[in-house]
Amino acid sequence: MVHQDSTVQGADDAVRCIRLTLAYDGSHYLGWQKQPQGKTIQGVLEEALQQLTGAPTRVLASGRTDVGVHALGQVAAFRTKSRLGCPVIQRALNALLPSDIVVLSVEEVPLSFHPIRDARRKRYRYLIWDSPLKPVFLRQYVWFLGKPLDVQAMVAAAAYLLGEHDFSAFETGGAKRKTSVRTVYELTVTRRHPGLPNLITVEIEANGFLYNMVRNIVGSLVEVGRGAYAPAWMQQVLLRKDRRLAGPTAPGSGLFLVGVSYSDTPVASSPDPWDLFTTRGHSSASCD
């Protein structure tokens, strides 16, 4: 049993900012953001923190993953008057949280830290299964397609999206943004896992993403892979900035937030596209 922190209400307590790196299986959650009804990652995490510190605690993440979307390296932060050390917070949260959420690292950061505004790069991975046979044990982590895809055509189409562009064509209607211009640093399509020949990995890193941008790009790449369009069609969609011309939105189940970088350094990623269990940063930074 985890004991609550009895020091929260102390008069000499100073507010601290704590940054978490999380991995989670989003299969049984209504996404990150807390909802009036239904289980969410944010809701479960905030309940655990309240149990640990004895005070209501709001957690802000680098991005709100949707229903069924997973994370290998989500970054979140919260403020607290608790004096619990970072290693203690990590161990306690992992004891309180369900088995499909794990805290990979905990560190104290300046109060000015903001997980959304300070993010410089994000990396996502999308998994596709293109065998006629259903992937029984992977069904919650891939987009199952019944026919083989032309990966080389998808690679050629992906090349048109590299660099700085207006990605309006790949944004599902949502909150208004100041600009739809984003820079894609890397976009790869590979079929390289020796033990899973029907597994296709789409990996994309950018300085930011519009709502459903990754899933809409993947849906469009799949249209090319199916032979519905030539690779050059992707450039036409991009230039015309019309969401109706792009492909469908890929299901959330195949999407993973790989990680977030708060500098210009690329997000660390495993060279193995199926290494879903890579954990970056198991050790906690010490808190004074």
Give the active site residues: 66
As beta bridge partners, residue 125 has 203, 256
Closest CA relative to residue 48, chosen from 83, 5, 12 = 5
Phi then psi for residue 265, to 5 deg, are: -75, 135
State how beta strands 255-261 and 70-80 pair.
Answer: parallel
Q: Which of 47, 48, 54 is nearest to 91 (CA)?
A: 48
Q: How far apart are CA 78 and CA 213, in angstroms?
A: 27
Could you give the CA distance from residue 106 to residue 21 in angstroms, rounded to a whole number? 7
- The tokens for 128 are 């596709």
- Are residues 233 and 157 in contact, defined by beta-carbon separation less than 8 angstroms? yes
